[in-house]
Amino acid sequence: MAPIRKHETFFVNTGIFLLTLMCSSAMVIPVLAMDYNEEYKKTLREAGETNQSQGIRAGGFLFFPALGLKTEFLDNVDNVHRDKTSDIVTTANGSLSVKSNWNRHMVMIGTNQTKEKYKTRQDRGYVAGSYFAQGRYDITDLTMLNVSLSHGKQHTARGTGEDVDVTSTIDYWVDTLNVEMSRTLSYLQGSFSVQKGVSRILDKTNASGSDFEKKDIQSVGGTISYLSSPGNALYLRTNYTDNDYNLIDGTNRKTDLWNTTTGLSFNTGGLYSGDIFGRWQRYTDTALGKTNSSFSFGGAFQWNITYLTSLRYTYGKTFSEGESSATNTALLTSQQLALTDSITELWNAKLSLQKDDYDYSVSGNPAENTLYIGKLESSYSLTDSVGLNFGVSHQKKDTGNTDNSYNSNTVYFSLTYIP
């Protein structure tokens, strides 16, 4: 069984700018198998995002080039219990964006290109790319409008979380439009966002009848928050997501998710900070012919042990939608403990332990599977422009059935260049 990858808010511009509006989607994206290199991606993603001191200035504009080269060593490239195969995967990222350097308004356009190559499983190599444009207009000092548009080729493994099928991949063209408006009135802040997306399959060779040929995504959401002091706020957030699938076998499937979250974020002045919330969700799938509801508590707690060291725990529940089959939809309970340390001004390290529990009873499937992930990652600034990243990871899938469980290990090295 493979709870297929729900729309992976695609890496529109991995090397330059993560479209933050996509985070308004109510569905949590679990850690993907073979997706361990967080420090490498974080380094590229943050290039030019907010730091006006980086980039190459040209009049009223800033140019943000970014290059990344990563090599992964995997001891179980197929994620299987027996007959494991090792492999070496090399990934190259190149991106360029141009951003206006104006005080109140901003326009940004860019592109990102990725090439991945396998030494053993050579047929899994691919080339993908994306293009994006974003604009920010400050209507007043306290009112802001953001609009972003992106078009890209998305290369995905059929599956997500604890059950990713890395042996069968599908390519999609993905187009996304995001519009968000935010307003601040004294201690009150509000925002409203709309997202529209379309995914179209490129090649049906590896697709099954239950895979989708086209997927239409619509999402509407808003947030109201009351800030009593910096880092302390009460908030109410609601989001509605509607997905319409046209399947390979000619049938149609529709899903929708209501997600309402209310909570409290707090900061004690530097030593402790966190978030406590209650979340209500209602999920409907026409292929299942029923509606599932869930109410849960969750949150995050961070202890700043020293000025350079912090320990953070997060917990939450959400629905993980199966795209290739309705019976692959699960209620996901995810928790993570992470220790972060700035060893020196140039050297950072992070140790994290994560547990994801997948309960498929919401889709009529009695299976309950668990994914354990342990990671140690480190980044070091060789120069102001060149960064070195290193990571090791262990992943274990537990299904209660030995033949369907597996262990895998990954080691990666990477270099990033951001002038």
Q: Map residue 339 onto helix, strand or coil.
A: strand
- 15 part of a folded domain: no
- 411 part of a folded domain: yes
- 140 part of a folded domain: yes
User: How would you write the pLDDT of the chain (419 residues) with one tens digit per residue?
Assistant: 333 333 333 333 333 333 332 333 333 333 333 344 555 555 555 554 444 456 788 888 889 899 999 999 999 988 888 889 999 999 999 999 999 877 778 899 999 999 999 999 898 888 999 999 999 998 888 899 999 999 999 887 665 445 555 667 788 999 999 999 999 988 899 999 999 999 999 888 778 777 889 999 999 999 999 998 888 999 999 999 999 999 988 899 999 999 999 999 999 988 999 999 999 999 999 998 999 999 999 999 999 999 899 999 999 999 998 877 788 889 999 999 999 999 998 999 999 999 999 999 998 888 889 999 999 999 999 998 899 999 999 999 998 887 888 999 999 999 999 88
CATH code at 352? 2.40.170
Question: Range of 356's domain?
Answer: 20-417
- 91 part of a folded domain: yes
- 334 part of a folded domain: yes
- 382 part of a folded domain: yes
Burial 125-134 (b: 16+ CB within 10 A, else e): eeebebbbeb
- 137 part of a folded domain: yes
Rounded-to-integer distance, Cα 273 and Cα 86, Å: 42
Rounded-to-integer distance, Cα 308 and Cα 298, Å: 26
- 3 part of a folded domain: no
Name the domain count of the chain: 1
